[in-house]
Every structure is written in C-alpha cells, then in structure tokens.
A and B are shown apart, each in its own frame.
Chain A
Amino acid sequence: MTAQMFFIGFFGLAGVWFGIVVFRTYSMVRSALALLFSQTALGAMFLSMQAEFLGVLQIMMMATEMSIMAIFMVMFMMDPGGLGTMDMTHQKRLSLIAGFVSFVAAVLVALFVDWGPIAATFPDAAQQTVDLGLELLNRSMLIFEMAGITILTAMIAATAVAIKPIERITNKSKGH
C-alpha cells in the first residue's frame, strides 16, 4: 500500500464518518462542526491527490462557511445544544433506502465502467496553478464572468430577502 493510497482512504473515511455524524447528533452546533470536519477531511484528500490549490481552497472556504452555519444553527434552532434529544426527522425509512440505493448505484458505476488508462505523469503544483489560471482567463473566461455575476445576484437577492421589512405608518393607522 502506498502512502497516497493510505491517506486517500484515511481522509475519505474521515470525511464520510463526519458526514454521518452530522445527522446522528442531537446538537445542532455539533452537526455544523461535524460538517466542517468532513469538508476539511475532503480538503486533505484533495491534497493527498496532489491538487494543492483546490485542497487549500476547500479547507479555507469550508471552515468559513461552516462557522457561519453554526451561528445560523444557534439563531434558528429550538435546541442548538441538543439537550432535549428531540427527533427532527421524517420519512426515515424512505431516506435510508434512497441513500443506500444511490450509494450502491454509484459504486457499481465506479466498478464496472472502463475509465481508460491511468495517467502516468501529472503536473507539479506550480504548473497546475499556471494551467488553471490560463484556463480561467482563456477558454473558461465566460463561465467565470457568469459565475461572478451569479454570485453578485445571489448576494443582492439574499440581502433583499433577509432585510426586515419596514413598517409603513399610514394615515389610517395614525387616526386621521
């Protein structure tokens, strides 16, 4: 077993394990933190596969996102600490079946499809970053321009939806 094989297996297992913990714990803050650990493990998995830029980006972005998610958990959940052990699920059996069937289907596809020859060489980290930058600025520039506009639109939409509506005082309510 090579070191890469070991680390990919280890971090993959950690990512899946923490993903399961997200839905097993009663504490909502622990759910958010478990998701953070799961995403961090996947970032480490990217680093094991020599995708350094993506690995670092994954860890940085997910740490921020999941921390914000933990704050929202405390804001909106009835029992963020999980002390009440309230079950907030429905259609559990159907969900388990759907999850299991999708897992089995994806594994069967992975096992029985001929993916082609494995690449013998790969670019080093610096060359990967150069190639990615050139890809973003050449062939995929339109995609990323659209992504930037989409993010801006989403930010404006989310802010507009989240702003508390102003209560307008009408003449009728003033008693005139």
Chain B
Amino acid sequence: MSIELLLALITGAALLGVGIYGALSQTNLVMIMMGVELILAGAMVNLVAFWRYLHPDNPAGQMFVLIIMTVMAIEMAVGFGVAIARFRAKGSVEMEEATELKG
C-alpha cells in the first residue's frame, strides 16, 4: 500500500467520523445536513484515491464521484425545501421541536 493512498483513506475516515458526530449531535436541520455533506465528502475522497492508486484506467471511479456530487446537490435542494416549509409552518428548524409524528 502506498503512503498517499493511506493518507487519503485516513482523511476519508476522519471526515466520516466528524460528519457522524455532526449529524448526530446537532439539533438544527441545516447543521445536520452539513454533517451529511461531510460524510459524503469522505466517501468521495476514498473513491478518488481508489481510482488514482488502484484502477486509474477505469473511469468508473470518477463516474461514481459524479454520482455522489449529484446526490449531494439533490440532498441540499430537497433538504432546504423541507426547511423552508418547516420554518413557515412552525417558525423554526430545530429537530427537537419536530415531535408531531411521535407515537
């Protein structure tokens, strides 16, 4: 294994850890989405590293990164639409206050 590949994988792991911490600890919808963005970024770093150091002749690795970028954009668009609707209905986007569906 090359040092560069290991550095990239450790970076991806760190972004995963920070993203999971953020997504679980934050109460605000926008901040939770930031955590999810970091998790997806960690996945992208791993994919680019695998493409570059293991299979540089196979463009599928880069294509997968484009798919993840698409997912990030879709997640932000729908998430902010939901945030706007929630803010208009209840006046805040705090997830601890969103208990209407609680059994």
Interface band, chain B: 35 or more
Are the C-beta atoms of A103 and B17 separated by less than 8 Å? Answer: yes
Residues 40-73 (chain B) with a chain A CB within 8 angstroms: 41, 44-45, 48-57, 59-60, 62-63, 65-67, 69-70, 72-73
Which residues does chain A contribute within 8 Å of B73, judged by CB atoms?
A: 61, 65, 151
Are the C-beta atoms of B18 and A99 separated by less than 8 Å? Answer: yes
Are the C-beta atoms of B57 and A123 separated by less than 8 Å? Answer: yes
Are the C-beta atoms of B56 and A122 separated by less than 8 Å? Answer: yes
Are the C-beta atoms of B25 and A106 separated by less than 8 Å? Answer: no
Please, what's the 1-or-0 string for A64-100, where 1 marks a CB less than 8 Å from any CB in chain B? 0100110011011110000000001111101110111
The reply on A131 being an interface residue by CB < 8 A is yes
Q: Please, how many angstroms separate the alpha-carbon atoms of A123 and B91 in the complex? A: 53
Q: Please, how many angstroms separate the alpha-carbon atoms of A168 and B85 in the complex? A: 18
Would you call the interface of chain B mostly helix, strand, loop, or mixed? helix
Q: Please, how many angstroms separate the alpha-carbon atoms of A135 and B67 in the complex? A: 13
Select which of B9, B25, B33 is within 8 A of A110 by beta carbon: B9
Please, what's the 1-or-0 string for A112-138, where 1 marks a CB less than 8 Å from any CB in chain B? 000110110111000010011011100
Q: Given contacts A115-B54, A119-B54, is CB(A19)–CB(B25) below 8 Å?
A: no
Which residues does chain B contribute within 8 Å of A22, judged by CB atoms?
A: 18, 22, 31, 34, 38
Further 14 A-B residue pairs, CB within 8 A, beyond A122-B57, A157-B81, A161-B81? A22-B18, A23-B21, A45-B8, A49-B52, A57-B66, A77-B30, A110-B9, A115-B5, A132-B63, A135-B60, A147-B70, A157-B78, A161-B78, A162-B84
Binding site for B on A (CB under 8 A): 2, 4-5, 8-9, 12-13, 15-16, 19-20, 22-23, 28, 31-32, 35, 38-39, 42, 45-46, 49-51, 53-54, 57-58, 61, 65, 68-69, 72-73, 75-78, 88-92, 94-96, 98-100, 102-103, 106-107, 110-111, 115-116, 118-119, 121-123, 128, 131-132, 134-136, 139-140, 143-144, 147, 150-151, 154-155, 157-162, 164
A-B residue pairs in contact (CB < 8 Å), sample of 19: A19-B41, A22-B34, A23-B31, A23-B34, A45-B8, A45-B11, A51-B48, A76-B87, A88-B31, A98-B20, A106-B12, A110-B9, A119-B54, A128-B62, A150-B74, A151-B70, A154-B77, A157-B78, A158-B82
